[in-house]
Each structure stands twice: as C-alpha cells, then as structure tokens.
Amino acid sequence: MTMLANSAAARDIRYQIHSQTNIRQHEKDGPLIITRGEGAYIYDDSGNRYLDAMSGLWCVSLGYSDTSIKEAVKAQIDELPYFHLFAHRSNNPSIDLAEKLIQNSPGMSRVVFQCSGSEANDTAVKLIWYYWNALGRPEKKKIIARKRAYHGTGIASGSLTFLPNIHREFDLPIDRFLHVTCPHYYREGLPGESEADFVRRMADELEQLILAEGPETVGGFFAEPVMGTGGVVMPPEGYFEAIQAVLDKYEVLTVSDEVICGFGRTGTYWGAEAVGYKPDMITCAKALSSAYLPISAVIVSEKIVDAMREQSDKVGVFGHGYTYGGHPVCAAAALASLNRYEELDTTRNARETGAYFQKRLAELKDHPIVGEVRGIGLMAGVELVRDKKTKAPFDASVGAAAACSRFALERGLVTRNLGETMSFSPPLIVTTKEIDIIVDTFREALDQTLAWANAKAAA
C-alpha cells in the first residue's frame, strides 16, 4: 500500500498499537480508516460504503445513526458531565439505568457498573471470591470456564478466556482458572456419538473435574450462552440444563456472560433465556449502550447482595470500583439505548428477521467449502472446511477464512473470520433486504475463496 508521509494511515502506523493485529503486517498494509456511519452502513476515508454485518465488534446494535442516543448524550454532558459512585455519592442516570436493568432481569437484585466487558468479568470473578470469603469458605475460589470461550483480555477475564493468542505470550491463565471442553458437537462430538450422549459426556467431564479438584475448592463457573468469538458455538440441546444440575449440586456460582448475547441478539432479551441457563450473575456491555459510549454492568442476585451486606458488617467498605463506573454520560447513552430497543421492539426483529437470516444462511450448506452453518437470532457462524465429508479444515497457513473476509470486504460487506469460522452479527435494526445483501454477497465471497484456494493448491 502506498501512502503519503503525513496521511492519517501513515500517522496511524507511526503512533498507534492496534489490538488483535499483527504489528509487522499493519506497518506494511496500514489501517482501514472508517470515518462515517449511517444505519447498518459504514464509510471509509475514500468514500467506500460497507454493510457492517458485524455491528463493529458485535456491539452497535442500533446502527450508526441513532438520534435518541446522541441527544441523550448531549443533554447529559450539558447537565452533568461526570460524577462518581464512590463513598455514597451517586448520579441520576446510573440510578435510572440500574433500575431499568433490574426490571429487565428476572431474579436479579443489584447492579455494579464498569466500562468494558473485560472489567465486568473481572468484577464478577472478584464478587465470587468476595462471596465465598463472606461465607467463611475462603478455599472455594477456583473458577471453571470453557475452551474457546472469550470473556475479555484482562488478567482475570483473560484467564477465563481460552484462546491461544490471549494466553500464550501473556503467561495466562493464572492459577485458579480451569477449562472444560467447548460444547461444539460438530467438532468435539465423537464418531457415532449422539448429541444427547455428547451432552452427558460434557456434564460428566465437568463433574469429574469438580470432584478431582475438590468441590470445596470450586467457587464459580462462567459461560456465554452462545459462544461468540470462539466461533459462534451453539450449545447442544439440553446442555445448560445438564451442566447446571452439576454446578448446583456442588454449590458453584454461575455467571452468564451476556456481553454479546444480551439485549436481544439471540431473539430473547438475555441469551440465557434462549438456552435454558439460570445464572446467579449476568455480565453485559457492548449493546448496553449500542457501543456509543463505553459502559458495562454486573447484575447480581439477592444471595450475592446478602453476603455483601454481611461482609460490610464485618470488614466495612466494599473495596472495589473504577473511577468511571456508572459514568452519567455513559449511563444516559445506555438508558436511551434500552428505551430504543423497547420502542423499536428489536428483540422481536432479532427473532423474526433473525429466523429469515438463519434460513437464508442455511442455503449455503450446499457450498463446497461450508462445513457447518450455525446460529440463533441475529448471530451466526459459517465454518469453512477443505473437505466437507471428513470436516478437515483448511491448513491454517492457507488463511482461507481471512481471504474470505477480504473478498467480502472488497464487495462492501464486513464479516469477521474467527479461526475458520466466518461470523455475523448485524445490527438489531437490520431489514430482510439487508439480510439478502449480506447472504448473496457472502456467497460470492465464498465462491471466490474456493477459486482462490484451488488456484493456491495447484500452484
């Protein structure tokens, strides 16, 4: 790529370090600079338009031009740009937002605010430890998550995550974090194993791990209802009921990481409802404010609050919090987003337009390099394979999914390759017409990927 010495691209390379990016490659190729957004579309600095079928990073649920959020943010900045929640201080937007979240979260009692999904999961880990300390069981601190999970990249949230590049060079996971098999029947099911047997094996594996570690040492369990970054992995039928029985038996606190699934993405308000998961805590971020401003929340049940009250009697203040937790402007953006979801009934759109999306994507099952199409509501994954029959993936060095993502982008469609899975998470306001554009354009990208991979193999 040729670029002017003082262009934005050159300065980006000169001054920024990008997340989940190969620095050497970035210095060679430079950034794609997005300058403007409208509805489900974004525009780059050369004026090219793209349909963003990823909602940024699964987050811009109301699209890029929601006026009600913009107005709420402006009004709040004019009124009170900042005040914190430390030491008995409060602000009105955080109170209103907490009330709304509890109204929308059956069985939950209180909310702790932070700024990101990683922070929310870090807070949830600390709350689990705080809870067991409060109950006088300080040994019950180990936390179980699943392979291929993504819960963030902090020290604790990155330890919950189980993806090679989040762990390898950072000496993660730290002690106390354990991982069980990813419940992906297509990849992890044994030859001849039924889905019901697979679920039983997953529940048995979890129970055996808890018994081997000692139930008195296992305090918490984290799961995304539908795994996102791990490749949009749908839990098999009956999975959450089966593992929840094990977790309840050994008094393990459960957390539903709703950072992607929350606020309607799966066609129900919380992803947990869609998959039959009954958590003690919910973590959420992203769509909480449609990503217009950074905010996240941990929503906890009364039994956690009870323990916290008792601990306050013993030790005094709850020694946790962030300067920007409950930031009034971010809370105003979130409140406007939640109101807008209700006004537009976006959960219903995720269910209905989502059903159309899943039906159209299922047409791609006949494509020679499509192994599995999976998803729910407005989230979906299409796993690429070199050989449909054996499920053999393309060699990682081929970079087929990355190429597919590039070919889609050249056609004006943003998707994201996660491992060998192409992922989709369009805004919750997406229309059936836009779904047609997504699927039709994606099929063209798949065709080009096949031709490209064949040419590469023949070379």
- Binding residues for ligand PLP, rule: CB under 6 A, are 57, 116-118, 121, 150-152, 224, 228-229, 257, 259-260, 285
Helix axes 302-315, 117-134, angle to 10 degrees: 60
Cα-atom radius of gyration of the chain, to the nearest Å?
Answer: 22
Neighbours of 451 (CB within 10 A): 11
Nearest CB to ligand PLP, comparing residues 265 and 386 = 265
Structure tokens at 412: 């004006």
Residue nearest to ligand PLP (CB): 117
- Distance (Å, rounded) from C-alpha 306 to C-alpha 204? 32
Structure tokens at 42: 């974004």
Question: Least distance to ligand PLP from the beta carbon of 121, Å?
Answer: 6
Nearest CB to ligand PLP, comparing residues 260 and 369 = 260
Question: Least distance to ligand PLP from the beta carbon of 173, Å?
Answer: 15
Question: Least distance to ligand PLP from the beta carbon of 257, Å?
Answer: 5
Residue corresponding to tokens 């762990």: 167
SS3 161: coil
- Distance (Å, rounded) from C-alpha 423 to C-alpha 357? 13
- HSE-CB at 203 with a 13 A cutoff on CA atoms is 22
Residue corresponding to tokens 């209700």: 342
Nearest CB to ligand PLP, comparing residues 119 and 280 = 119
- Distance (Å, rounded) from C-alpha 218 to C-alpha 131? 13
Nearest CB to ligand PLP, comparing residues 114 and 449 = 114
Nearest CB to ligand PLP, comparing residues 380 and 400 = 380
Nearest CB to ligand PLP, comparing residues 166 and 400 = 166
Question: Least distance to ligand PLP from the beta carbon of 366, Å?
Answer: 30
Question: Least distance to ligand PLP from the beta carbon of 259, Å?
Answer: 3
- Distance (Å, rounded) from C-alpha 425 to C-alpha 271? 14
Report DSSP state, residue 265: T
Question: Least distance to ligand PLP from the beta carbon of 338, Å?
Answer: 18
Nearest CB to ligand PLP, comparing residues 218 and 282 = 282
Question: Least distance to ligand PLP from the beta carbon of 284, Å?
Answer: 9
Instruction: Name the residue among 240, 236, 293, 284 with its Cα closest to residue 264.
Output: 284
- Distance (Å, rounded) from C-alpha 203 to C-alpha 217? 18
